[in-house]
Homo-oligomer: A and B are copies of this chain.
Amino acid sequence: MALQVSVVGSGPEHEAAAEEVGRLLAERGCTVVTGGGGEVMAAASRGAKAAGGTTIGILPGERHADANPWIDHVVVTGIGHARNLAVAASGVAVIAVGGSWGTMSEIALARRLGRTVVILEPGLDLPGVTRAATPAEAVELALAGGLSSLT
């Protein structure tokens, strides 16, 4: 399997950054995992596909059709916001781009499981989480942390 990195977040103003994160992850050979929805999730997936990458979308609902068009592999969970745990857990690392309460829950659950989490600036104001100034730095920090967790 390819290394999987989750991208979480929301907010249309963060889509350009998310797309860049997705592109950079794909260029590094990583599969991009998201919640399969719109805004940051769609942008990260779109960026990954533009770079020839692979994407997984882990949906809260019960229908494949709810996935955004850039999802290769659709996981239909049917468990609502509890799917945030699967999004957080399915990456060896998590990059947060923008976001609100749902994103905060994914960051917290990822940290609870010991996953590396990187917040891309400007991002949620949470104590004890690594921060990155640029998409490239976020990807480097995520990969460094995620790879070290595998050894």
User: Which residues of A pack against B, CB within 8 Å?
Assistant: 1-2, 4, 31, 54, 56, 58, 62, 64, 67, 71-82, 84-86, 89-90, 92, 100-102, 104-105, 107-109, 111-113, 124-127
What B residues does A84 contact at CB under 8 A? Answer: 109
Q: Is the CB of B101 within 8 A of A112?
A: yes
Q: Is the CB of A75 within 8 A of B101?
A: no
Count of chain copies = 4
What B residues does A124 contact at CB under 8 A? Answer: 127
Q: Is the CB of B105 within 8 A of A71?
A: no
What B residues does A58 contact at CB under 8 A? Answer: 75
What B residues does A107 contact at CB under 8 A? Answer: 104
Minimum Cβ distance to chain B for residue A2 (Å): 8
Give the complex CA separation of A113 and B72 in angstroms. 22
Give the complex CA separation of A101 and B84 in angstroms. 14
| Residue in chain B with minimal CB distance to A77 | B86
Return the contact of A79 from the options B67, B75, B86, B113 (Cβ within 8 A). B86
Minimum Cβ distance to chain B for residue A91 (Å): 9
Give the complex CA separation of A94 and B104 in angstroms. 16
